[in-house]
Amino acid sequence: MKYSLIFPGQGSQSLGMLSDLADNFASVKATFEEASDVLGFDLWKLTQEDQDGLNQTQNTQPAMLAAGYATYRVLSNEMNLSPVCMAGHSLGEYTALVAAGSLGFADGIQLVRKRAELMQSAVPVGVGAMAAILGLDDETVVKVCANYPGEGVVEAVNFNANGQVVIAGNKESVDATCDLMKAAGAKRAVVLPVSVPSHCSLMNNAATVFANAVQNVNFKIGSVDVLHNVDAKIAIDVDDMRAKLVAQLHKPVLWTGTVQAMHSMGVEKLIESGPGKVLTGLTRRIEKALTVNAVLDTISVAATLEEIK
């Protein structure tokens, strides 16, 4: 069976995540200890005991990278994995690069912490917003954003699945555009509980600074191809990889296209490695021919390994 590994991003975190895996596989806490050494605080304790701390962007991003990579390590320690490719949603792209061997884990933790800090400082809390638009096609969402008559930024930023697009920008602009989306036929427009308007042009300055941070990190072409969010393509070299990561900060996540690209590469199953089932749900909406497993506890590990053997 041809399969790919996919890694969730910010929003999939939950208090107590991976506790079952940690009770059964020593590599989980070992991974978090490595991350804690880099960060200078107990990341595992934070994920298990501090909901508010976990939901702060500068903590969420390293926590999700550690959780996705810890889950991958559980799988890879149990079986010699041979995925066709890997991908991750937004922050999850970094997890994919670590799992593929393109980016060291300690470097990855430092880099996503820096990314989160730059994103948070780019737009003061309360100034930006994101909203999920349900029930409109991609083109209509883009058009409504482009025709927004007011001031401020509002852009389509996450093409998550057919009929599910996230918009981001200035809070007033996003709120007003939600009403315009409903008038255009959207079933729902749901403002998301986030403090940062990710993947839109409000992140341009953060991306400029982040480009310097990316240049100072050692990347290499890994053992497995990684499809990048910004164009649903594989980087041709290390410079291209860096450029795609910088662009991802202020340009849309093409998740629908990424899943379709994996299917066109002959992939039959996607394995969501990490907390939650967000990408599992999206995959079922994007491509019915793909089966998908969410790996987040001991039972799902055993079931997934049995299927791909």
Q: What is the pLDDT of residues 42-76, one digit of tens each?
A: 999 999 999 999 988 999 999 999 999 999 999 99
Q: What is the pLDDT of residues 3-46, one digit of tens each?
A: 999 999 998 999 999 999 999 999 999 999 999 999 999 999 99
Whose structure tokens read 């993947």?
Answer: 199
Query: Which pLDDT value is given to residue 23?
Result: 97
Query: Which pLDDT value is given to residue 7?
Result: 98
Q: What is the pLDDT of residues 278-292, one digit of tens each?
A: 999 999 999 999 999
Say what the pTM is: 0.96
Distance in angstroms (rounded) separating the CA atoms of residues 89 and 68? 11
Query: Which pLDDT value is given to residue 125?
Result: 85
Q: Does residue 195 have a pLDDT over 90?
A: no
Q: Does residue 82 have a pLDDT over 90?
A: yes
- How many angstroms separate the first and last alpha carbons of the chain? 8
Quote the tokens at residue 14. Answer: 């939950």
Q: Does residue 114 have a pLDDT over 90?
A: yes
CA dihedral 73, 79, 85, 87 (to 10 degrees): -30
Confidence tier at 294 by pLDDT (50, 70, 90): very high
Q: What is the pLDDT of residues 226-278, one digit of tens each?
A: 999 999 999 999 999 999 999 999 999 999 999 999 999 999 999 999 999 99
Query: Which pLDDT value is given to residue 223?
Result: 94
Query: Which pLDDT value is given to residue 53?
Result: 92
Query: Which pLDDT value is given to residue 25?
Result: 97
Query: Which pLDDT value is given to residue 228?
Result: 98
Q: Does residue 181 have a pLDDT over 90?
A: yes
Query: Which pLDDT value is given to residue 11?
Result: 87
DSSP per-residue codes, 67-135: HHHHHHHHHHHHS----S-EEESTTHHHHHHHHTTSB-HHHHHHHHHHHHHHHHHHS-TTTEEEEEEES
Catalogue the active-site residues: 90, 199
Query: Which pLDDT value is given to residue 309?
Result: 86
Query: Which pLDDT value is given to residue 244?
Result: 98
DSSP state at residue 193:
-
Report the pLDDT averaged over residues 153-170.
97
